[in-house]
Structure 1
Amino acid sequence: MDEGVRVDISGAKEQFQKAGVNVHRAMPKLLKKLAGSGERFMKRNMPVDTGNMRASVSSDVFDEVGARITVSANYAQYVNDGTRPHIIRPKNAKCLAFAPFGARGSLSRGHRTAFFTFGGKTVETGLVCVKVVHHPGTKGSHFVEKTRDHILKIIPTESNKIIADALKDVNK
């Protein structure tokens, strides 16, 4: 996912300086906490189908300069932002084949099939084959923006914890 969200933490740096805390030690600690918390929050708040997108989330910290939370699944932007209505046509076949609404698709005896389950009984059925699908679009889940808001909300608390820990060490 190429898009990202910037969070300005210069206020925390100023807060560290006013408290007399070593900024070069405090900023990497703060960035590591924010990135880790943001990564966990993002994984908990993104929609999950197969788990592939959730597994592709990672975070990196660059000294005291910055941090990044990355989602490397190639479809993450569409899940985050949503899609407009669009037309889907087959590229390498004569038709698009899928299980009918309410059925589950599977591979049975070497060919794709679909089946319904009713009260413990399973009934096999064929696939639906169409030349075009008018997709209605999808609503975005906005998990990136929710993660940004979460990080902005926890900056003061995490900064204060780091200041309190640093002042404890000085007063020992």
Structure 2
Amino acid sequence: MSAEVRIDQGAIQRLLRRRGGKAYRQMEERARRVARFAEEEAPGSMGDFVSWDVVVGPKGLQGVVRCNHPAVLFVLKGTRPHIIRPRRRQALHFYVDGTEVFTKLVRHPGTRPNDFMARALRLGR
């Protein structure tokens, strides 16, 4: 009597990558957890722009967490001191301590980097 077992590596990989498979569900949970931390760590309303997904990449399943806020790079990398001038109007308009201000330029002091996405990744491990 003899028995033969053949392992189809491709079939195993397809099974693991299948939507709803065990590996997919685990990757989905990790991506969701990291995105939740990113939403909490993001400044202001930037957390509303955080989303996540699971994709099949060249090395297998990958969890992707992204922030699509227009100013996200300025927050992540920080900014140097710079001058802000009006583009379409003659003056900038804003409030300081409840006082209405009109001015032709603002000397912005810059901002420190706030890499909330990397912090979320560390917290989500």
Task: Give the TM-score of the pair, scaled to structure 1.
Answer: 0.55
Residue 82 of structure 1 is matched in structure 2 by 78
| CA positional deviation for 1:143 | 0.3
> Among 93, 102, 125, which residue is 2:97 paired with?
102
What is the rounded CA distance, in whole Å, between the counterparts of 2:101 and 2:70 in structure 1? 27
Q: Secondary structure at the match of 1:61?
A: strand
| 8 Å contact from structure 2 (residues 41, 47) kept in 1 | no
Higher relative contact order (CA 8 A, sep 6+): 1
> Among 13, 22, 39, which residue is 2:35 paired with?
39
Question: Do structure 1's residue 145 and structure 2's residue 118 form an aligned pair?
Answer: yes
Q: Name the count of aligned residue pairs.
A: 105
What is the rounded CA distance, in whole Å, between the counterparts of 2:41 and 2:93 in structure 1? 32
| CA positional deviation for 1:140 | 2.3
| 8 Å contact from structure 2 (residues 92, 104) kept in 1 | yes
| 8 Å contact from structure 2 (residues 31, 63) kept in 1 | yes
Q: Where does the alignment leave 5 or more consecutive residues of structure 1 unmatched?
A: 1-21, 104-113, 115-126, 155-172
What is the rounded CA distance, in whole Å, between the counterparts of 1:45 and 1:93 in structure 2? 35
Residue 72 of structure 1 is matched in structure 2 by 68
Q: Secondary structure at the match of 2:86?
A: coil
| CA positional deviation for 1:65 | 2.1
Q: Secondary structure at the match of 1:42?
A: helix
Q: Secondary structure at the match of 1:139?
A: coil
| CA positional deviation for 1:32 | 0.8
**Matched letter for residue 102 of structure 1:** D
Residue 4 of structure 2 is matched in structure 1 by none
Over the aligned positions, Cα root-mean-square deviation in angstroms equals 1.9
Q: Where does the alignment leave 5 or more consecutive residues of structure 2 unmatched?
A: 1-11
- Over 4 Å off, 4+ runs: none
What is the rounded CA distance, in whole Å, between the counterparts of 1:92 and 1:45 in structure 2? 34
What is the rounded CA distance, in whole Å, between the counterparts of 2:92 and 2:119 in structure 1? 35
Percent of aligned pairs with the same residue? Answer: 28
Task: Give the TM-score of the pair, scaled to structure 2.
Answer: 0.73
**Matched letter for residue 48 of structure 2:** A
Residue 54 of structure 2 is matched in structure 1 by 61
